[in-house]
Amino acid sequence: MLTRAEMLVYYDFAGGRVLPDRLTQPTHGHYRHYAARMLEIYHGGAGRTRQELHRAVAAVFAAETDCPQRRIAAFMKLLDDVSTYERDRRGRAVRLRQQVFRLAARHHPLVRHPDRLFESSEATIKARIASRLGRSWHEIDRDLFADVIEFHRLLRFDGYASPAALLSRYNVAQVQASLYDASRMTIWARDDFKTILRYAKLARLMHTITRLEDGRYRIRLDGPTSIMRQTRRYGVNMARFLPALIACRDWQMHALLQPRLGSRLLALELSSGDGLTSHLPPQDAFDSQVEQAFAQRWGDAPREGWTLMREDEILHRGQKTFLPDFVFQHEDGRRVLMEIVGFWTPEYLAAKLQTLREFADSPILLAVAASIAAPPSDLPPNTLFYKTALRWQDVLERLKEQPWSDGSDKSDGSDGSDGSDQPAHSTGR
């Protein structure tokens, strides 16, 4: 990610908004040429120092009037992020400097053109030192300051897929840097709940989930201490989370930012329709081939009143969440969740069962792959075993034979389907 020195953000205090720098096709279409040249410099830059590469990148924009220095610095940082530099991890540069300076000190001062007053020629003394150390002066000069970051030499450049990919990464990185000052983020989403919550947890963000009347979920994210005192600690975590959110579908985001302590709160708004492209790969529609094959065999049409929906519901209590693989919706209003457990170990299945026990008041059908190992004895009664493929006929029979509740007797709103604007459960803070 970018540092504050490389972020280029504009604050609209009158409108209460934060406006990260954005490269757009109408205004910055010619930047593709610049991006191609920068990639060319790094692709052919093996052996060059970081300082030399940065100077070459700066030269690309020498004639560009619409390019602040911070924008150039951001490009350098993004290029360095996918580069591998040679580093002096064993302190050899320090020892080499000590040797060279000690040998040169006795001839001080060194001059390029010796005379009667200053007799020590720089070229002559360098040659003597090189002979003494058994290396050419070119090798010595190359390694003398190898521990200084500007003189690290490029070993490998992993690069970006295209000039457009570099420009897209720039746009995302500027939004990420803006979030450093964020204290809270709210997301409205219809799809990809599992991805959103998985990466939110990886970013150590707490969540409050509410199901809204239009079928969307509202997910509020913050850190565990942000409600007790104002803090900027979790803005960095939100910045790390952003690329995962951008890779998802059909979402809106609103974040509250405070650029300076004591200043007014500003808003950063973003949505899946804003055209940002994540460097993270899009999530697969299904977690396994078993799930994909089952969904294809079931089809889109209802079967005896039951319609299959993919990851349509979130169960949550405090910071514990569970997103079943499928939801079966009956035309009479009944809803049954189904979780598929494919290849499993005893430890994995035990952890899955513990999660299911926490949501035992919800109608959940568990489909478990048959295994050589004996399954545990405490499997829930609504467990269905399958061999290589999960048959839709077996699932339909189980749906028909069980007296599934239609959910009308629930009073705690555990599925969040009451449409209220209040969280279905506390966040357990």
Domains and CATH numbers, the chain: 4-83+161-274 (no CATH), 92-146 (no CATH), 289-401 (3.40.1350)
pLDDT at residue 31 greater than cutoff 90: yes
Q: H-type helices in 144-225, by residue range? A: 163-178, 193-202
Task: Tell me, yes or no, if the pTM score tops 0.85.
Answer: no
Render pLDDT for 258-287 as a digit per residue (tens, 0 to 9).
887 667 889 999 999 999 999 887 666 566
Mean pLDDT of the chain: 85
Q: Which two tokens stand for residue 151?
A: 């003189």
pLDDT digits (tens, 9 = 90+) for 321-359: 888 889 999 999 899 999 998 777 777 788 888 888 888
304: left (phi over 0), alpha (psi -120 to 50) or beta: left
pLDDT class of 317 with cuts at 50, 70, 90: confident
Identify which of 85, 82, 62, 78 has the alpha carbon closest to the alpha carbon of residue 7. Answer: 78
Is residue 281 within 8 A of residue 317, CB to CB? The reply is no
**Please, which pLDDT band fits residue 413 given cuts at 50, 70 and 90?**
very low
Nearest-CA neighbor of 155 among 80, 86, 76, 78? 86
Answer whether 85's CB lies under 8 Å from 50's CB: yes
Q: How many CB atoms lie within 10 A of CB 24?
A: 11
Q: According to the model, what pLDDT value does residue 345 have?
A: 74
- Residue 348: predicted pLDDT: 76
What pLDDT does residue 406 have?
Answer: 52
Q: Considering only 113-122, 293-302, 365-374, 398-407, which range has the smallest mean pLDDT?
A: 398-407
Q: For 37-96, write each residue's pLDDT tens digit.
A: 999 999 999 999 999 999 999 999 999 999 999 999 999 999 999 999 998 878 899 999
